[in-house]
Chain A
Amino acid sequence: MSKKKVATVSLAGCFGCHMSFLDMDLELLDLIDLIQFDRSPLTDIKTFKHRVDIGLIEGGVCNDHNLHVLRDFRQHCDVLISLGECAIMGGLPAMRNDIPLSECLNEAYLGVPTAIKNSTIIPHHEDLPKILDRVYPCHELVKIDYFLTGCPPSGEVIALALKSLLRGDLTIPRELIKYD
């Protein structure tokens, strides 16, 4: 059986979910027998060259670049998974959703103690992505096939999810994803 291709990306996330991936330790070696990483921060491949079997999305969508990447993933992946709280619900970044964007940027860049009057600016440039009015969960923008809960989901859960998915359907014992 040829190895399945997996792509991953971090949108408006903290890379916590990707760290969790690395937390798999030896499990990762098992996994590497079954899958091959394609576009991912782990391989530093930045564009899709082929169709991919599974896409894992960390983080929600906070700017137009995130939006385009997410759509790109949807177009190239057979199965798309929202990985972690931020992808599923927006997570911490979504705390700004009730605050108008201008107020939010002012507070973050100009209202901080390190800001220097008349010299600190809010970074913006045509090469920088445009910030969206609020942070969107991935499933509001593209069809998401599975949701892996957790902040972040543990390495064990991610490994189990991938393995079970390769066998047919994604199943995870309830104890592993019951957090309260």
Chain B
Amino acid sequence: MNKKSVSKIVRHLPRDPTRLLDYLWAIQRAKGFISPLDIFELAKLLKIDESRIKEVITFYHFFFDKPHGEFSIFLDQSIIAKHAGIDLIEKVFEEALGVKSGQMTDDWQFGLYKTSCIGMSDQAPAALINMIPFVNLTTDKVLTLITCLKRGDELLKLQKDLDCVPQNTVHQSLVTQDQWDQDITSLHTQILNPQDIIQEIISSGLRGRGGAGFPTGKKWQLCRQYPGPRVVVCNADEGEPGTFKDRYLLTEHATKLFYGMAIAAKAIESQEAYLYLRAEYTYLLDHLHFVLTKLQRDPLIRQIKWRIQLGAGAYVVGEESALLESLEGKRGEPRLRPPFPVEKGYLGKPTIVNNVETFVLVSKVLEKGFESFRKWGTDQSAGVRWLSISGDVSKPGLYEVPWGIRLREVLELCGAQSPLMIQVGGPSGECINATILSELERKLSFEDLPTGGSFMVFSKERDIFTILQNFMQFFVDESCGNCTPCRAGNVVLNNQLKKVVDGHGRPQDLMSLTQWSHVVMKTSRCGLGMSSPRVITTSMKAFPEIYQHKIDSSKSSLIFDFDEQKATSDYDKIFGENHE
């Protein structure tokens, strides 16, 4: 490991605690992990307390305070990856390396770990190795990979040789398709003044694409009410399992994205713009810097102070106020709201936070005019949106669809294979029973079935409870722990669900699941806890029979099933079955 001193490693960074994440990445890249001594030195350098650094390191999945292996391998645990065989991949890694998942080889060369969805559901199973994605893994590829890494081959070269480089497969594109070259003078000569921009966006009916669907123009207008300096932030945290459309937009349409942000900056008269990129997309960082540098020729871009902030692994940071905390170099815990970010956002300044796709669409609206955008979609859901489709379909990948499209039509587009269940909008979205024809007539729209872009299809061969338990485990893992209903409530829900699935449930357990769901939804601080119980509530509505099936009403409802033998097995092991 590297013996360089911290001050040398971070020489290029400004002495600013809000850049703490950058500091930690720099140290970790140089040294493999962040040691107590590094923390001590960094604390002195930044004139902050060591605890302030430790609390940040321990919050994020990808910061290590212990050695994690020269090659740290993170296996995607999303349900799509599970169905695509990530467990087998894990076994192959385990056997080839001689370690269990969660451990490091004795020579510290390899560490094997698990992580939540890495945004590669269209190319599952996938893993991150030193933050480089390896997609479409097979057992053969894994074996070759390990041999070659031991031999000293380059990761990036192997990624290519083994055909593991992420691809973006676009099956349908309606509005976003054309590539802009770097100089689109035609666009910004039209941009007259802030009010006109906002009016154009309001007329377009554009609503946020990150999930909540707040009207974009209105958000900007609200922000303008508060005195500047104001800030533009792009949310590229894309953490909802099954979503990968931002990955595509960041790769193929970064120019439109940066222009969208620049237009927003103009609209709210801001000179500061931040792009918060999830750590799983580290591999896009150079590309984004490259595009941004190229665009600097344009005064519209040049007059803004830009920063691309790399995250460090935490789903909850996608929540906008948590994202701002993280951008300030802190733990990504959601803030109490109000005040909303439009009033007090990044470092207390009025801030707009928008999704990647929202900004890309802003560019398109200004380029083509709001009428051409409005002609798509429904009354309340104007325009088009990107879907990330994965699971049991013949054509997984990216689809730009008009809002208002029916589920049936989406299933036809992507070639769904005897679908049983559709999860619209990821685990925090809605579970749909695909065997009920009337359900398939429902429309993707804010009026009926909103979605942040995740669309997972599961065939009749899949076990629904396995899927639901994977989702609940995701929320247990990703709860930031700030508020009790979510921290403890999701564990309770997960345990109760397991109890039912294991066949120990009684009729009152179903009621209890519903009651707990309400408690967690109504009392959690942020959208994570407010929506995680939807895994239970929406699936109970969609598939009541599978729950009923698990309940044995004949048994006494007063004395619960309990595996006494299992509970005493530790004791028996210590003293022998018969107490001799």
User: Cβ of A74 < 8 Å from any Cβ of B?
Assistant: yes
Interface of chain A residues 116 through 138 with chain B (CB within 8 A):
122, 124-126, 130-134, 136
Inter-chain CA distance A143–B573, complex, in Å, is 30
Scan B537-558; emit 1 where CB is below 8 A from any A CB, else 0. Answer: 0000000000000000000011
Residue pair A143, B557 in contact (C-beta under 8 Å):
yes
Scan A157-168; emit 1 where CB is below 8 A from any B CB, else 0. Answer: 000000000000
| Complex interface: stretch among A10-18, A20-28, A46-54, A99-107 | A99-107
Residue pair B575, A133 in contact (C-beta under 8 Å):
no
Inter-chain contact total with CB atoms closer than 8 Å: 54
Residue pair B579, A126 in contact (C-beta under 8 Å):
yes
User: Cβ of A141 < 8 Å from any Cβ of B?
Assistant: yes
Scan A73-105; emit 1 where CB is below 8 A from any B CB, else 0. Answer: 011000000000000000000000000111001
Residue pair A64, B579 in contact (C-beta under 8 Å):
no
Q: What residues on A are CB-neighbors of B283 within 8 Å?
A: none
Specify the chain A residue showing the minimal Cβ separation from B506. Answer: A143
Residue pair A67, B574 in contact (C-beta under 8 Å):
no
User: Cβ of A71 < 8 Å from any Cβ of B?
Assistant: yes
Residue pair B574, A132 in contact (C-beta under 8 Å):
no
Interface of chain B residues 554 through 578 with chain A (CB within 8 A):
557-560, 562, 564, 566-575, 578
Residue pair A130, B572 in contact (C-beta under 8 Å):
yes
Specify the chain A residue showing the minimal Cβ separation from B557. Answer: A143
Residue pair A125, B579 in contact (C-beta under 8 Å):
yes
Inter-chain CA distance A133–B568, complex, in Å, is 6
Residue pair A141, B560 in contact (C-beta under 8 Å):
yes
CB distance from A76 to the nearest CB of B (A): 11
User: Cβ of A142 < 8 Å from any Cβ of B?
Assistant: yes
Inter-chain CA distance A136–B560, complex, in Å, is 13
CB distance from B492 to the nearest CB of A (A): 11
Check A132/B559 contact, CB under 8 A, given A101-B574, A102-B574: no
Residue pair B575, A124 in contact (C-beta under 8 Å):
yes
User: Cβ of A30 < 8 Å from any Cβ of B?
Assistant: no
CB distance from A52 to the nearest CB of B (A): 14
The winner among A64, A122, A143 for most chain B CB atoms within 10 A is A143
Specify the chain B residue showing the minimal Cβ separation from A140. Answer: B560
Q: What residues on B are CB-neighbors of A101 within 8 Å?
A: 570-571, 574
CB distance from B440 to the nearest CB of A (A): 41
CB distance from A103 to the nearest CB of B (A): 10
Q: What residues on A are CB-neighbors of B569 within 8 Å?
A: 133
Interface of chain A residues 26 through 80 with chain B (CB within 8 A):
64, 67, 71, 74-75
CB distance from B561 to the nearest CB of A (A): 9
Q: What residues on A are CB-neighbors of B572 within 8 Å?
A: 130
Q: What residues on B are CB-neighbors of A132 within 8 Å?
A: 567-568, 571
CB distance from A39 to the nearest CB of B (A): 18
Q: What residues on A are CB-neighbors of B562 within 8 Å?
A: 67, 140-141
Q: Which of these, B558, B564, B578, contacts A143 with CB under 8 Å?
A: B558
Check A131/B559 contact, CB under 8 A, given A64-B564, A124-B579: no
A-B pairs with lowest CB-CB distance, top 9: A101-B570, A132-B567, A130-B568, A143-B558, A126-B579, A130-B571, A124-B575, A133-B570, A133-B567
12 example contacts (A-B, Cβ-Cβ < 8 A) are as follows A64-B564, A71-B559, A101-B570, A101-B571, A101-B574, A105-B574, A122-B574, A125-B579, A130-B571, A141-B560, A142-B558, A143-B508
